[in-house]
Structure 1
Amino acid sequence: MRCPATVAVLRERRRGDRGEGMAAHQAEAVHRGIDYDAEVDTSVTARAELAASLCRRLGLAGSGVGG
């Protein structure tokens, strides 16, 4: 799961329990050098669709998990 650094910074501010600047620093750094089987952008996809996508990817579609 990822989102643009600008979105991560806004979320960090809203939470109020994170050290300021951590989101901007980590937004891309935590993904550097990693090849993922699947990626989703949490800034443009609704939570229900994110959950459904994950369930499909894990073979849980139709199991009642995630709706």
Structure 2
Amino acid sequence: AKEQALLEKEQERQGKEQALLEKEQERQGKEQALLEKEQALLEKEQERQAKERLAAKLRELGINPQTI
């Protein structure tokens, strides 16, 4: 009976540990999703800045960027 109680306690402990691991994985998944969103925003911003620089260069050359 004592051994059975110890086994049950160990199983309970492992269950709690498993739940903690799952929570941690969920948290990391959310963090990953946020990082991916941020990365996409950064890429969009870089693209926008590159287009702006190109438009400025074209204007310097006397070309209207809207005509391209």
TM-score normalised per structure 1 = 0.26
**Higher alpha-carbon Rg:** 2
Structure having the larger proportion of residues in helix: 2
Normalising by structure 2, we get a TM-score of 0.25
